[in-house]
Structure 1
Amino acid sequence: MSGFDDTLTNLARPKTSAIITVRVIKSLEFRTERSLVLRDINLETTTVGDLKGIARNVIQTQPGWKPYRFVQFDTLKLYTKAHGAKTTNLIINLDHDEWILSDESKQLSEYGLENETEISFFNREMYEKFRLDPQTRWES
């Protein structure tokens, strides 16, 4: 017995007390995002609508989020799960539209979320425009 705990991190915490990261995306073309780490989220009772509300509340009330307060955040989409494949796009995965969490009344666990899942939170209109021309730009 080595004493090493080889439990996968996505199984290390129960679905009733998960840690998830919300990637709050201000701009897709400039790759402007900030990560919001949420602890002790109950994936079996928290709905998509609840998660949006939690994230919006942090953006509107916590210091350091002022540049994000003027974006209409309206869409959540799975970015990656722990130990899962990552997208090659550094800001958002443009494929898998079925990963968009479109039903606000569905519990997060119904979408397959688990501990250490990363979710993107963004403006849907901005996303659709970026999909047509997924070019990133840099401020000069």
Structure 2
Amino acid sequence: MSDQAVLTARLVRSFEHRNFKPIVFIGVNLDQTVEDFISFVKQDISSRSGLPPPFKKFDYDTMKVIHQAHGAKTNELVMSLEDDEKLILSGGCSLRACGVANETELAFFKMSDYEKFKANPQTTW
């Protein structure tokens, strides 16, 4: 089992408008903590070229597994609203302990926006 993984983080700015951008990270250490990975991603996107400024400056604070390699994908366009207890990465544990493996796709979003959308899941165009 390799310690280096390829992970995709889907930066979600708006659930209502389905506004997100996927970013791929190569060589991610799955034994780092969720907090360390979130800090790394925030730092990376703030200086990443080709990423529109609204995505760089957004206040992301939560990660959730969208799907695993070779697993079933959700029909939701942004991410599933189900299984939060199981799929939201909890602080204090490693990525691996939270079920993250090579080629996992994660959503990176602001929890307060997610809770508001989940209470009234309407999308607009």
Shorter-chain TM-score category?
Answer: over 0.9
**Does residue 12 of structure 2 align to residue 22 of structure 1?**
no
| SS state at 1:18 partner | strand
CA RMSD of aligned residues (A): 1.2
* Residue in 2 that maps onto 1:67: 54
Q: How far did 1:30 drift?
A: 0.7
Unpaired runs of 5+ residues, structure 1, are 1-13
Q: Quick check: 1:15–1:114 contact (8 Å CA) kept in 2?
A: no
| SS state at 2:11 partner | strand
Distance 2:15 2:70 in 1: 25
- The structure 1 residue matched to 2:44, chosen from 39, 43, 58, is 58
Give the 5 Å matches for 1:2-17: 14-17=1-4
Judged with a 3 Å threshold, the aligned counterparts in structure 2 of structure 1 residues 106 and 30 are, in CA distance, closer, same or farther, namely same
Please list the CA deviations of residues 55-103 of structure 1 after superposition, one character each: whole Å capped at 9, or x if unmatched: 1112211123312133210001111001111111110110011111122
How many equivalent pairs are there?
123
| SS state at 2:90 partner | coil
* Residue in 2 that maps onto 1:87: 74
Larger Rg: 1
Unpaired runs of 5+ residues, structure 2, are none
Report the identity percentage. Answer: 38
Distance 1:15 1:52 in 2: 21
Q: TM-score, normalised by structure 1?
A: 0.83
* Residue in 1 that maps onto 2:25: 38
Q: TM-score, normalised by structure 2?
A: 0.92
